[in-house]
Amino acid sequence: MSLKVGDIITFVRTFTAEDVEVFTKVSGDEGSHHMTPDKQGRLVIQGLLTATLPTKIGGDSNVLARTMNFEFLRPVFTGDTINCAVTIEKFEKQDNRTQITASFLCKNQNEKAVLSGDFSGVIL
């Protein structure tokens, strides 16, 4: 993938109860809101599970992250479909690596922002 400043890369994912179950086992985050369904039968997705959306996009481009900043804006529930848009802010070749900085905004199926932030790192 050839990236440049201004590029916007998107990824869409719908979270399931199985996703929460697997992430709970891996992370140990067993908050009752992740384990007990609400009145609509939904579980709250762990924040860091939601944060896998921008990291997936970074991983697709072989980004070795140095910093990651997340602002969790509203809860994400099982059954929610989240669209994550990553915008390349800086892409600069230096010697044998490339410096990259990007911002991201994730929105649910109702166009409500659920997660924003940025990351920086290198592509080797």
DSSP assignments along the chain, one per residue? ----TT-EEEEEEE--HHHHHHHHHHH----HHHHS--TTS--BPPHHHHTHHHHHHHHHTTEEEEEEEEEE-S--BTT-EEEEEEEEEEEEEETTEEEEEEEEEEE-TTS-EEEEEEEEEEE-
Average pLDDT score over the chain: 93
Provide mean pLDDT across the span 58-62. Answer: 87
| Domain layout of the chain by residue ranges | 8-14+45-123
Predicted confidence band of residue 79 (pLDDT cuts 50, 70, 90): very high
φ/ψ (deg, to 5) at 75:
-65, 155
**Architecture (CATH level 2) of domain 8-14+45-123:** Roll (3.10)
Provide mean pLDDT across the span 67-96. Answer: 95
| Structure confidence by residue, pLDDT tens digits, 85-94 | 999 999 998 8
Tokens of residue 116, six digits: 């924003």
Predicted confidence band of residue 1 (pLDDT cuts 50, 70, 90): low
Predicted confidence band of residue 42 (pLDDT cuts 50, 70, 90): very high
Predicted confidence band of residue 31 (pLDDT cuts 50, 70, 90): confident
